[in-house]
Amino acid sequence: MTSRPQPKRTRKLPEERRAEIVETAARIALAEGLEVITLRRVAEELGVRPGLISHYFPVADNLVSEAFTSATAKERDSLLPPHERELPPVDRLARFLVRLADGDYRDLSRLWLNARHLSRFKDSLRLAVRTQESATRTALVSLIADGVEAGEFTTDDPHEAALHVLITVDGLGSYANDDAPMDGPDVRDVAIETAEIRLGLAPGTLRLRA
């Protein structure tokens, strides 16, 4: 009896393998939390030896921070997609806030909550959190400034307006681990209402434009 020829394994380029490791760790982080990311766990997901993971990430904390960065950068691009940059700023802001309000990004909110807690103990993760916070803030400030220039928004300080919106978004994110509906009025649109107030928009404008 002749044995079947084994499929030949293709060795991946170092940059491809590294990207695969980070992407896998990011997927684990979104689904289960940053604490679950270990060299062994990522190796099991990829079907490789842990030594291969440690070759690229000798320090596990660095993999945790890169996983967080990868996940949040990817999610930010889906909240503020590059292909929507040609839309009016009010439409872009509406889509951004409605996407957040409607619950499709609950895993992302949980990840931010998780990362901010763990960053108290992990220097590299703390730097990653600050960097991603800055990137999101910069993107929103730029969007609001574009809207002011286009005559769609009214504010003397796009940076201050962006901070009010993001602080509200973060406040709502603190409830991301609670799957039970909150008592009282529906608070999902608080960030939307905050943006409308800070930017001189009529109530209901952003839901309508989204």
Can you tell me the distance from the alpha carbon of 189 to that of 169, in angstroms, rounded to the nearest whole number? 10
Can you tell me the distance from the alpha carbon of 29 to that of 66, in angstroms, rounded to the nearest whole number? 11
User: Spelled out in words, what is the top-level CATH class assigned to the domain 65-209?
Assistant: mainly alpha
Which pLDDT value is given to residue 65? 97
pLDDT tens, residue by residue, 110-161: 899 999 999 999 999 999 999 999 999 999 999 999 999 999 999 999 999 9
Residue type, 35: E
Degrees, nearest 5: CA angle 25-28-34: 80
Say if residues 68 and 128 touch (Cβ distance below 8 Å): yes
The tokens describing 75, both together, are 């999610």
The tokens describing 93, both together, are 């802001």
Which pLDDT value is given to residue 22? 97
Name the percent of the chain lying above pLDDT 90: 77
Quickly state the pLDDT bin for 103 (edges 50, 70, 90): confident
pLDDT tens, residue by residue, 50-99: 999 999 999 999 999 999 999 999 989 999 999 999 999 999 999 999 99
Can you tell me the distance from the alpha carbon of 166 to that of 194, in angstroms, rounded to the nearest whole number? 10
Say if residues 88 and 150 touch (Cβ distance below 8 Å): yes
Q: CB 93: neighbour CB atoms within 10 A?
A: 29
Task: Give yes or no for residue 186 having a pLDDT over 90.
Answer: no
Q: What is the DSSP letter of 191?
A: H
